[in-house]
Structure 1
Amino acid sequence: MNVIISGNLKTHMLTQTNEKPHRCDVCEKRFCKVGALKTHMMTHTKEKPHQCVVCEKRFSRRGNLKTHMMTHTKEKPHQCVVCKKRFSQRGSLKSHMLTHTKEKLHRCIVCEKRFGDSGSLKRHMLIHTKEKPYRCDVCEKRFSRSGDLKPHLMTHTNEKPHRCHVCEKRFNRGGYLKTHMLTHTNQKPFRCDVCEKCFNQSSHLKRHMLTHTKEKPHRCDVCEKRFSRSGNLKTHMMTHTKEKPHQCVVCEKRFSQRGSLKSHMLTHTKEKPHGCIVCAKRLTHMLTHTKEKLYRCDVCEKKI
């Protein structure tokens, strides 16, 4: 018994001294526990010894299998004392509690942005390191998160396991389905604290906030012009590369933007889908009544 206690104490002391005597022979990463090294080695060998008896999915860690089993049993043993919401994992509850305390303990050493959990910080750091460790075996496209690789693989298999029970539309991500459901409920849970405008997606709110802060975090590496949206930067880059990936199937004219191609197609179909509610004239005539400027230049962001 004393030997066991002595061994546990010795291992615990390593967490205090930050000593990591166990080294991976493949990537040279170091660990303070031999068990942690053994588990890490499975990332190299791709070994997954722990199998789910229900769906036969395999895992490299027993703890991951135990957590996975709760997706079958629907068990959620960890409850928030504030709002009573329940979670299957203690870590998920711990992260959730930060939404009540607004506490962000984890800070990025590069840009000083703060996060509520270490996982979010770890994912954020990949932005700075440009590291994309997850690779698609089909097209070799790389991703910074495993969660992004899995839905991407479905673009090759055309698999869409998530189905809307209202309109039967299918999605390859559960998050896309969840967002889609808001179109049926008209729910807009994300509210701007400045102007109180509401949005059905957090990403839309985040993008909207840039209109208040005037922040333009996306910079062109060629001419250093800055943009508030990554999509605008991507489109702008085509002015340097002269790339025009969208081609008209009728006259083969090419465009840098899908929206430009869509508008161009109307010149072939003679379709005028936009009707004025004042005088029934079609196309962009309504703007003469509202004086609204709907279209924004992706190069200089001026609205017309």
Structure 2
Amino acid sequence: MNTKSITGKKPHFCEICGSSFTSKKYLAIHMQTHTEEKPYSCEVCGFSFTRKYSLVIHMRIHTGEKPYSCEVCGSSFTVKQTMLTHMRTHTGEKPYSCEVCGSSFTQKQHILQHMLIHTGEKPYSCGVCGSSFTQKQHLLEHMRTHTGEKPYSCEQCGTSFTHKHNMLQHMRTHTKEKPYSCEVCGSSFTQKQHMLQHMLIHRGEKPYSCEVCGSSFTQKQHVLQHMRTHTGEKPYSCEVCCSSFTGKYNLVVHMRTHTGEKPYSCEVCGYCFMHKQTMLRHMRKHTGEKPYSCEVCSSSFTHRYTMLQHMRIHTGEKPYSCEVCGSSFTHKHTMLQHMRTHTGEKAYSCELCGSTFTNKKKLNIHVRTHTGENP
């Protein structure tokens, strides 16, 4: 008869650590943890265990046996407890709660790791640089920054990564998968963090501010890059021509001027572009889209800059002035043409007779004297 079933107690105590058990049998098994005796050995790999049941479970690694199946999704497991823990992903049950902040977890191990956040304890330390971590897995991942190990490789292009999640994110550049969608405008993203940053645009929230001029930004990286306009710092340098840039992306785009790379292609005509934004503007020639409208006369334009130039017709603004005579113009190219009346420069030449002209319009009129075309 089980003593515990009658008294509700565990009468058998370990004299070394004080643990209590319902029977002498369990106490005897426990004592092996102190004596380091492991009488049960695996015939395949030689690994040994204190309990026969532990050996039985271990053998399933070699046999591939998974006797416990999930009734919901059919996933199978070698250990019953692992299957029960898995079931919580379907039921939503989180039986382990944090007494400090109320957060709940599906596994006991997860709450123990979470509690380290409140205690500030970081029991896992790096023997190289002394950095400490709350989880052993985080320490192991950190160690790769010292060893240079990148155990996760992309099956398509061979690029390797220190972390599995980085490799999975990278795979989406091949599969084009964008699992995170904006509920407001439907834009989709490869990473959750990118979607959360995007949501700030809809909320109008700009949590990162420049301490110098007060400009605000949606992303921390943007304010750090902006600060370089004040400090003059340009940490990214081109190895070909030594040009330097405030942002890494600016350097990447600049490098295309040396490599000739044009990674963005028009799906309609196949024309290639160095910049994605230039390709999107080009697409409007095919779609006829004119997203920029004049608030005064409702004229619409394919480019924002063209709309801003048009607005000068209504405002009368002439921001470009001649340094010689003071004449002002609405467009920069018109001012440059005017300057030739002072410099005498004739930048446009006739390919037939070599005559030169100050502007393209006069050249076109002249060419008709050769072709016989009526003006």
TM-score (norm 1): 0.67
Query: What is the aligned counterpart of 2:261 among 196, 199, 215?
Result: 215
Task: Kindly state the Cα deviation for residue 255 of structure 1 after the two structures are TM-superposed.
Answer: 1.7
CA distance in 2, matches of 1:270, 1:41: 69
Contact 1:50 1:65 in 2 (8 A): no
1:190 and 2:228 correspond: no
Shift of 1:110: 3.0
Quote the offset at 1:30 in angstroms: 8.4
CA contact (8 A) 1:58 1:65 kept: no
- 2:307 is paired with a residue whose SS is helix
* Structure 1, unaligned runs of 5 or more: 292-304
Per the alignment, residue 251 of structure 2 pairs with 205
Write the distance in 1 (CA, Å) between the matches of 2:93 and 2:261.
Answer: 43
Change (3 A) 1:42 1:10: same
Partner AA of 2:185 in structure 1? C
Asked whether 1:239 is paired with 2:285, we answer yes
Match of 1:177 among 223, 228, 235: 223
- Provide the C-alpha distance between the structure 2 equivalents of 1:52 and 1:279, rounded to a whole number of angstroms: 79
Partner of 1:229: 275
Describe how 1:1-304 pairs up with structure 2 within 5 A: 2-3=50-51, 6=55, 9=58, 13=61, 38=85, 42=89, 53=100, 62=110, 66=114, 69=117, 90=139, 93-94=142-143, 96-97=145-146, 106-113=152-159, 115=161, 117-274=163-320, 283-284=331-332, 285=335
Which deviates more, 142-151 or 72-81?
Answer: 72-81
Tell me: CA distance 1:46–1:178, structure 2 relative to 1, closer, same or farther (3 Å). Answer: farther
CA distance in 2, matches of 1:286, 1:46: 73
Higher mean alpha-carbon deviation, 143-152 vs 85-94, is at 85-94
Deviations 1:53-103 (A, max 9, x none): 57x888888389749949x96989867958x999885477456558xx6x7
Please give the alpha-carbon distance, in whole angstroms, between the structure 2 residues aligned to 1:64 and 1:136.
Answer: 34
CA gap of 1:270–1:256, structure 2 versus 1, over 3 A, is same
Unaligned 5+ runs, structure 2? 1-29, 31-49, 346-375
The 1:169–1:112 alpha-carbon spacing in structure 2 relative to 1, beyond 3 Å, is same
Displacement of 1:160 after TM fit?
Answer: 2.1
Q: What is residue 294 of structure 1 aligned with on the other side? A: none
Deviations 1:117-141 (A, max 9, x none): 5433322221222212112233333
**Structure-1 separation of matches of 2:207 and 2:71:** 40
Residues 143 and 269 (structure 1 numbering): CA distance in 2 closer, same or farther, change over 3 Å?
A: same
Which SS does the other structure have where 1:196 is aligned? Answer: coil
The 1-side partners of 2:254 and 2:90 are apart by 40
Q: Give yes or no for contact 2:94–2:104 (8 Å, CA) kept in 1.
A: no
CA change 1:277–1:153 in 2 (3 A) is same
How many pairs align?
281
The offset of 1:196, in angstroms, is 1.3
Residues 110 and 44 of structure 1, relative CA distance in 2, 3 Å threshold: farther
Q: Which amino acid aligns with 2:230?
A: H
Report deviation, 1:111: 4.0
1:300 aligned partner: none
The alpha carbon displacement at 1:268 in A equals 2.5
Structure with higher Rg: it is: 2
